[in-house]
């Protein structure tokens, strides 16, 4: 029964993440097409009007490009306003493995736990579009730390709603999959140790952790063979 439920849950994670990935890819493609169209249009109009028109076309193009990470701002419950989103993206971008940065990011995320759903989406987008291998590992360590602290807080404070664990559980398989792809054997082993901490601290169910560890072990086999 438990394994079947875990598999069914994993399927729903996979479906959800595929949809998010497709959405992000479509948005990136649309932005690329928008740039090409605007460039062609601007060049044609420059010939016709001594370059006065392209400057007017440039402004909406910038707004189009920005929309990527801000697409879900002010969407409703569980989502951030644009200013908060900018703040969170800066917090994530600053993480490089140093303790002060990790602590600052962890504190920010715990203080803004009601918008954990939006945090998850933004982390996914950053992994898909920008972050390189080592950065992904640092963010994995951050997420692990935040999950453990949020769970601890929930045990100590009955009024605290652990929306961080609830929401990250849905996207963690996809985040882990992206984090281990293309990594060195050393980093994949470190990510595997992170998943072992989840098992030891009972952050998630044993079946759930096994599902994620399977993905890490496959990446480890590839890294060893490389």
Instruction: Report which secondary-structure segment, H or E, holds 80.
Output: none
Instruction: Report which secondary-structure segment, H or E, holds 36.
Output: helix 2-49
Question: Do 72 and 121 contact (CB within 8 A), yes or no?
Answer: yes
pTM of the model: 0.69
Within the chain, all domains assigned CATH 1.25.40.90 are found at 74-226
pLDDT per residue as tens, the chain (226 positions)? 555 444 444 455 556 555 665 665 565 555 555 544 444 545 445 454 455 444 455 554 554 555 688 888 888 888 999 999 999 999 999 999 899 999 999 999 999 999 999 999 999 999 999 999 899 999 999 999 999 999 999 999 999 999 999 999 999 999 999 999 989 999 999 999 999 999 998 889 999 999 999 999 999 998 888 7
At a CB cut-off of 8 Å and minimum separation 6, what does 130 contact?
A: none
What's the token pair of residue 113?
Answer: 């736990």
Question: Distance between CA atoms of 204 and 171, rounded to whole angstroms?
Answer: 13
What's the token pair of residue 200?
Answer: 């030891």
Residue reference for tokens 């890490």 = 216
Question: Distance between CA atoms of 50 and 169, rounded to whole angstroms?
Answer: 56
CATH of domain 74-226: 1.25.40.90
Question: Distance between CA atoms of 54 and 58, rounded to whole angstroms?
Answer: 6
In whole angstroms, how far apart are CA 219 and each of 16, 60, 179? 22, 42, 10
């Amino acid at each position: 029964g438990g394994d079947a439920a875990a598999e069914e849950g994993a399927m729903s994670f996979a479906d959800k993440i595929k949809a998010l990935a497709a959405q992000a890819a479509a948005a990136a493609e649309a932005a690329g097409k928008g740039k090409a169209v605007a460039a062609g249009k601007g060049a044609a109009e420059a010939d016709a009007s001594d370059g006065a028109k392209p400057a007017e076309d440039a402004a909406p193009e910038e707004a189009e490009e920005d929309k990527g990470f801000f697409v879900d701002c002010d969407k409703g419950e569980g989502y951030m306003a644009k200013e908060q989103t900018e703040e969170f993206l800066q917090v994530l971008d600053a993480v490089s493995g140093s303790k002060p940065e990790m602590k600052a990011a962890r504190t920010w995320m715990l203080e803004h736990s009601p918008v954990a759903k939006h945090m998850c989406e933004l982390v996914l987008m950053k992994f898909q579009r920008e972050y390189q291998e080592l950065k992904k590992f640092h963010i994995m360590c951050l997420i692990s730390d935040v999950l453990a602290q949020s769970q601890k807080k929930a045990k100590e404070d009955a009024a605290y709603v652990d929306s961080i664990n609830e929401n990250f559980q849905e996207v963690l398989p996809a985040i882990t999959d992206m984090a281990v792809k293309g990594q060195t054997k050393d980093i994949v082993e470190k990510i595997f140790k992170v998943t072992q901490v989840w098992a030891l601290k009972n952050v998630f169910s044993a079946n759930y952790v096994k599902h994620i560890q399977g993905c890490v072990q496959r990446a480890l086999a590839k890294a060893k063979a490389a």
